[in-house]
Structure 1
Amino acid sequence: MKTTIRAAISVALLAGFYLLAIVLIALLGWLTIWLWQEFPGVAAGKFSYVTLAIAGGLLVAFWKIIRAKPGEPEGLPLPPHEARGLWDTAHDLAHRVGTRAPDEIRLIPDVNAAVAEHTSLLGLAGGRRIMYVGLPLLQAFTVDQLRSVLAHELGHYSGSHTKLGALAHRGRMAIVQTIVQIGPTTIVGGIFQLYARLYVLVEQAVSRRMEYEADEFSVRIAGRSAAVSAMRDLPVVDAAWNFFVGRYVTIGWEAKLAPRDVFGGFTMLLNGRQGELAELRDSAPPAEKSKWDSHPPIADRIRAMEAMPDSGAASDDRPALTLLADPAALSMRLQQHALAIEGKTLLPWEELTDAGIAVGAQRGADSLFRAAARLAGAPAGDLALVLHLVEQGRADELARAVEPHGDREERQSGLTERIGAAIALAARAGGVGRWRHSWSSGARFSRPDGTEIPIREVARLAAAPDSVPAARERLTELGINLSAVRQQSTRASADGSEVLGGLANLHAPGKLYFDLFILNNGLMLMPGPKDTSGGRDRLVRVMRSAPVHELAKRYRFVPFEDIRTAAIHKQTPIKLTITLHSGETLDLSEPWSGESISSKDRDLLRDALRPFITEHQPSA
């Protein structure tokens, strides 16, 4: 399909949306006039109100679209003197592609490269061009591979794809704004939703064809080997970056701890995990397909590239970072510019790993200490009390309290893990050992001389009644004092939580309404509005408004460890009672008009409460 035909389809779809809106308004207007002529009265008046509301909603949506302006470009601007090699490469590739070079290059903290164009006349007239280059790509790729990626992106310019992208954006914006203004549950809103599905299907099919066209530029200019290599490495680098952020960067995020040099750490991770990255690289490239995807499967794109003639382009295996004048300085500036590190304590990687793991370990130890205190009737718990309860044969009770979900083996494993966390914290507080940072494996708890301390072995002894005396002996031999670790929090927090699902408009006695979020470690109750419409959208909007641990500070968080019993009185719509260890009861019932984030959320809630159920009287 040629570019001109694709452009015609995009324009036709966008024009079709406006035509659909005009036809619907005209039809509603005609029906309104007919009703007033044939059946004047209340019905005609109500229909007139509906017509005016829909017409007003369309006018508001169109006004927002017309007035919409491009947002501020993301990323760190790269002036030529700070990235002469990158600018020269971009200009050389633009000449080879046969298009105008970008007016601006911006550095972004993602495994990505992209181009954008600030167009006018709904995208039909060109404008300022911006190229975005991810610093992680520069860190992981060779110059050859980066040239392939940039040739692909510049190919989008050559094929007028960026102009078509502006058209597509306008089309999506028009449909979304209209549905928001009119309401997705109305008949007219439903018609626009059907049109939206058609529009997105066609748009994504067009987008996939554009990707194949841009790939041809990659092979022709950078060479087939470089293009295939870059395409095969993209998901590998993306997986490495996600692993790096999840396992290293955010290890102390909720405790307001952050690494002093984020991007420098990624380079060290790439060097330390070369074996694992090689295994990922040798595995089959992703081949998943969906009609909703904007990009073809990587496996299909590689096959298409391998079938293209090789251009014989000269190779350049230098690290892509050589295209920047001072990579280290730019890395630090991008970290300040693009990452949310304000208000956080910046630490070297060694200190961050130790401090970040200690925060999580204290969270686990505190849940164990609180459970021990409840079982023993003590004001607070500690490691000595935990060992005492285990020795008395109450390990199963402790395990069920700290790990209510899961089978017996999973509960015992959870108990052992928390005892191990407490032992490590005691050793750390006594100066016996600490968590040691590693780029090639997980962190190890070891002595100052680097020898590993057998925390897991001692924890397994301490979690079984018959071997508690042996655990005490081993702790003494290792120089670990039980009293060196103490309970620091009196109740659980939502740190480390994630939302699994949610139910809107649950009713509580006193004509109160609540929206309930199901977390991996508890429930969160948010006061609901009197108007119960749009419950699902409200749940999603709140969920996206802030991190879960911040939301839990604003609303009521009920950790699972605070629940003593639960009773489900009715399955559909769900009606339940939750009794807390404090004696407080929470009675919640769902109306027939209740909404949820997904269709499985009621099952999620039932599964979350199943370990606490003592009374189950389901009815239809």
Structure 2
Amino acid sequence: MLRAAASVVMLLGFYVVALLQLLAVLALVAWISVEWSATIGIKLGLPLLFAVGATAVGLWRAIRTRPEPMHGLIVAPHDAPELWGLVQALATEVGTRTPDEIRLVPEVNAAVSEDARLLGLIGGRRRLYLGMPLLQALSVDQLRSVVAHELGHYSGRHTRLGAVAYRGRLAIGHTIGRIGAWNPVGWVFRGYARLYLLVDNAASRRQELDADRASVRVAGPDVATSALRELPVIDAAWDFYFGAYVSWGWEAGFAPDDIFGGFGALVAARHEELAKMRGEEPEEHRSRWDTHPSNTERIAAMRAAPQVPHPVDGRPAGALLPSIAVAGVALQQAVVEVGSRQVLPWPQFTAAVATARLQRNADRIFRSLGRLTGVPDPGLGTLFDLVAAGRLGELAEEFHPDVTREEAAVRFAAMMDMLFVLAAVRSGAAYWRHSWSAPVTLTDADGAEVDFEEMAKLAVSPDTVEQARARLAGAGVRVEAAAIVERAATATGAGVVGALANFKIDGVHSDVILLDRGFVFVPGPKSTDNGKDRLKALISSGPAEELAKRYHFLPYEEVATATITKRSPVRAELRLHGGAVIALEGRWTGEELGKSQDALLAVLDRIVQRSTD
């Protein structure tokens, strides 16, 4: 209740500040009108009055807005009687009412909410959210601790005024967002907003420690601390899982048929790595702006609690569901929108992703090969002909600009190896082996690992390239199986590395989005106002590949040379392989996100180095 009362008082104070500023602005306008002129008073006062009026808009929006329930899979009592039985028993132990609803959510998190009314005086529908990864990685004992902590928020009546705190933050956020950075009224509001967050976050930290006491009381200090220490381990495993197994395939147009089941399999297969992570003390950098105390502080408080005997249940938490595998698939159907992606079982998904990644890298080489040779559909056979003619160095220097042509040709063996793998997979002479405990490996039909490194070394020399061709044929690898697919570079899977507003591209006012694969040129206004806001809106409007499709995308690989004539503001010329020239001209009044100008100069310097070495 303390947080709620503080939230209400601080929120009311926000509008008292607004009222006082309104009176001050009116007095200022009246004084200027009398001492100088009504026109000057109105011109000076209108922006200030607008800023004060923004508080009313913020309040109105906050009153009308309610937090939406987290998207997930509702689990009814008849769907998981043991889980519901555990939650009901814990609610009794903690001294609170049982939640009305349990939802499984696709997050490494557990939470509670309550649809309270009349500023929390009247309770409402209660929801308990349980992250599927927690059910897959915690024990029943540890889950009891986590759930008891969340139910402790109910018994402490923390959720009653959660909506008040939410609306307070929302009202202040709306108000600050509508006031310009240089409006004096905004300075006062921003200072008060910082004070509000300091008070609210301090109350939130106290609530977490209070809920921890419920967790310790139910599960005991040892289990409570082990559960708390396990959460960052699960979170790291979840991030690794998506980065190493899911994300690239998702960007390439594929989706696994069992996302959550895959995570469960990874946790089981990598238990030794996870055990090692548990033994490492994570570095924590907490401040007064955080909503949660540090784990160090929480664990110290838990260990100071008295030791009370508790029943031990070391079963996997997933045992509380009739079938965690079925629940995982149902959750995926409820919360994951695969769109037009091809859904595949894990072994096929992994193989498709590995092949797609190989093809994308091969296409990058083949496009350069096509520009050099003039062949419209280049492939591995075209590359062999280039090697036989003694011209591999001409191609290789584009990828190794820091060495001579001869050395670049030798280093190209690594890329040749990759092309051989692609040809072998496309020929059906090699296969991808999926693993939850190690990277994907390449094998033959009998399961033995395949290695083309020695053949690749033979293939980069005119004297031995035919030996490599013959050995590939003997292994059942068709040279023609490795050929170009993506004839034009795209931004599929690209990321944003910078954004600059108010440039001129060939004399046209434009904004520039820097991707890790190329430039995106977006037509912009002549005015230099609101450049950062425009850039933020652009970047948040969709994935980088959609921006590239919507506007002019220039892949870095299509730029043959660059000439930098001025570094601040940037002025440069880009000469494309086809002979066209694009002029880039920055302006002193231009804006950027972060250090995007440094990122742009780094890109240009790399192109200059590539073209001059």
- Structure 1 match to 2:279: 282
- Are 2:514 and 1:518 equivalent residues in the alignment? yes
- Structure 2 match to 1:553: 549
| SS across alignment from 1:346 | strand
Code of the residue aligned with 1:281 in structure 2: it is: R
Q: How far apart, in 1, do the equivalents of 2:388 and 2:26 lie?
A: 81
8 Å Cα contact 2:76/2:102 also seen in 1: yes
8 Å Cα contact 1:221/1:311 also seen in 2: no
8 Å Cα contact 1:523/1:558 also seen in 2: yes
Tell me how far 1:544 sits from its aligned partner: 2.3
- Are 2:360 and 1:380 equivalent residues in the alignment? no
Code of the residue aligned with 1:605 in structure 2: it is: L
* Deviating more after overlay: 85-94 vs 407-416: 407-416
- Structure 2 match to 1:27: 24
Q: How far apart, in 2, do the equivalents of 1:466 and 1:197 lie?
A: 72
| SS across alignment from 1:334 | helix
Residue ranges of structure 1 left out of the alignment (5+ in a row): none
8 Å Cα contact 1:398/1:415 also seen in 2: no
8 Å Cα contact 1:517/1:523 also seen in 2: yes
Q: How far apart, in 2, do the equivalents of 1:406 and 1:60 lie?
A: 62
**CA deviation string 1:375-412 (max 9, x = no partner):** 22333321133344456665554345347799999988
| SS across alignment from 2:500 | strand
- Are 2:514 and 1:535 equivalent residues in the alignment? no
- Structure 1 match to 2:199: 202
Code of the residue aligned with 1:612 in structure 2: it is: I
Q: CA, structure 1 residues 538+415, in 2 after alignment: closer, same or farther (shift >3 Å)?
A: farther
**Aligned to 1:75, which of 58, 72, 75?**
72
Q: How far apart, in 1, do the equivalents of 2:391 and 2:308 lie?
A: 72
- Structure 1 match to 2:265: 268
Tell me how far 1:56 sits from its aligned partner: 3.6
**CA deviation string 1:232-288 (max 9, x = no partner):** 211111111122222222342133211112222222111221221121122224433
- Structure 2 match to 1:14: 11
Q: How far apart, in 1, do the equivalents of 2:42 and 2:191 lie?
A: 29
Q: How far apart, in 2, do the equivalents of 1:386 and 1:98 lie?
A: 74
**Aligned to 2:608, which of 603, 610, 613?**
613
Q: How far apart, in 2, do the equivalents of 1:139 and 1:612 lie?
A: 48
| SS across alignment from 2:574 | strand
Code of the residue aligned with 2:554 in structure 1: it is: V
- Are 2:187 and 1:190 equivalent residues in the alignment? yes
* Deviating more after overlay: 317-326 vs 402-411: 402-411
Alignment root-mean-square deviation, CA: 2.8
8 Å Cα contact 2:110/2:129 also seen in 1: yes
8 Å Cα contact 2:458/2:468 also seen in 1: yes
| SS across alignment from 1:107 | strand
Code of the residue aligned with 1:519 in structure 2: it is: L
Q: How far apart, in 2, do the equivalents of 1:406 and 1:333 lie?
A: 55
Tell me how far 1:468 sits from its aligned partner: 4.1
- Scaled by the length of structure 2, the TM-score of the pair is 0.92
Q: How far apart, in 2, do the equivalents of 1:182 and 1:563 lie?
A: 42
Q: How far apart, in 2, do the equivalents of 1:66 and 1:285 lie?
A: 40
- Are 2:596 and 1:601 equivalent residues in the alignment? yes
- Are 2:352 and 1:355 equivalent residues in the alignment? yes
- Structure 1 match to 2:492: 495
Q: CA, structure 1 residues 211+459, in 2 after alignment: closer, same or farther (shift >3 Å)?
A: farther
8 Å Cα contact 1:513/1:529 also seen in 2: yes
| SS across alignment from 2:42 | helix
| SS across alignment from 1:61 | helix
**CA deviation string 1:90-130 (max 9, x = no partner):** 22112211222212111101111011122233445432211
**Aligned to 2:336, which of 327, 332, 339?**
339
8 Å Cα contact 2:63/2:167 also seen in 1: no
Q: How far apart, in 1, do the equivalents of 2:403 and 2:213 lie?
A: 52
Q: How far apart, in 2, do the equivalents of 1:547 and 1:33 lie?
A: 51
8 Å Cα contact 2:389/2:462 also seen in 1: yes
| SS across alignment from 1:131 | strand
- Scaled by the length of structure 1, the TM-score of the pair is 0.91
**Aligned to 1:37, which of 34, 40, 45?**
34
- Are 2:291 and 1:294 equivalent residues in the alignment? yes
8 Å Cα contact 1:573/1:592 also seen in 2: yes
Q: How far apart, in 2, do the equivalents of 1:425 and 1:109 lie?
A: 35
Tell me how far 1:498 sits from its aligned partner: 0.9
The number of equivalent residue pairs is: 611
8 Å Cα contact 1:60/1:181 also seen in 2: no
Residue ranges of structure 2 left out of the alignment (5+ in a row): none
Written as runs of structure 1 = structure 2, the 5 A alignment for 1:184-583 is: 184-390=181-387, 395=392, 397-402=394-399, 415-463=412-460, 468-469=465-466, 471-510=468-507, 512-583=508-579
Identity among equivalent positions (%) equals: 44
8 Å Cα contact 2:414/2:456 also seen in 1: yes
Code of the residue aligned with 2:262 in structure 1: it is: G
* Deviating more after overlay: 491-500 vs 501-510: 501-510
Q: How far apart, in 1, do the equivalents of 2:83 and 2:176 lie?
A: 43
Tell me how far 1:151 sits from its aligned partner: 0.7
* Deviating more after overlay: 402-411 vs 263-272: 402-411
**CA deviation string 1:535-582 (max 9, x = no partner):** 222222322222222222112221110111122222222222222212
Q: CA, structure 1 residues 379+342, in 2 after alignment: closer, same or farther (shift >3 Å)?
A: closer
Tell me how far 1:478 sits from its aligned partner: 2.1
Q: CA, structure 1 residues 410+356, in 2 after alignment: closer, same or farther (shift >3 Å)?
A: farther
Code of the residue aligned with 1:256 in structure 2: it is: G
- Structure 1 match to 2:140: 143
| SS across alignment from 2:178 | helix
Tell me how far 1:136 sits from its aligned partner: 1.1
Q: CA, structure 1 residues 215+459, in 2 after alignment: closer, same or farther (shift >3 Å)?
A: farther
| SS across alignment from 1:49 | helix
Q: How far apart, in 1, do the equivalents of 2:133 and 2:210 lie?
A: 25
Q: How far apart, in 1, do the equivalents of 2:67 and 2:286 lie?
A: 31
* Deviating more after overlay: 413-422 vs 603-612: 413-422
Tell me how far 1:196 sits from its aligned partner: 2.7
* Deviating more after overlay: 428-437 vs 116-125: 116-125
Q: How far apart, in 1, do the equivalents of 2:504 and 2:410 lie?
A: 37
Q: How far apart, in 1, do the equivalents of 2:61 and 2:323 lie?
A: 43
8 Å Cα contact 2:494/2:517 also seen in 1: yes
* Deviating more after overlay: 248-257 vs 390-399: 390-399
8 Å Cα contact 2:4/2:162 also seen in 1: no
Q: CA, structure 1 residues 305+403, in 2 after alignment: closer, same or farther (shift >3 Å)?
A: farther
Q: How far apart, in 2, do the equivalents of 1:426 and 1:43 lie?
A: 76
Tell me how far 1:41 sits from its aligned partner: 4.1
| SS across alignment from 2:115 | strand
Q: CA, structure 1 residues 413+219, in 2 after alignment: closer, same or farther (shift >3 Å)?
A: farther
Q: How far apart, in 1, do the equivalents of 2:265 and 2:391 lie?
A: 46
Q: CA, structure 1 residues 389+106, in 2 after alignment: closer, same or farther (shift >3 Å)?
A: same
* Deviating more after overlay: 602-611 vs 203-212: 203-212
Q: How far apart, in 1, do the equivalents of 2:193 and 2:463 lie?
A: 65
Q: How far apart, in 2, do the equivalents of 1:404 and 1:339 lie?
A: 43
8 Å Cα contact 1:361/1:418 also seen in 2: no
| SS across alignment from 1:81 | coil
* Deviating more after overlay: 405-414 vs 523-532: 405-414
- Structure 2 match to 1:66: 63
**Aligned to 1:131, which of 128, 141, 148?**
128
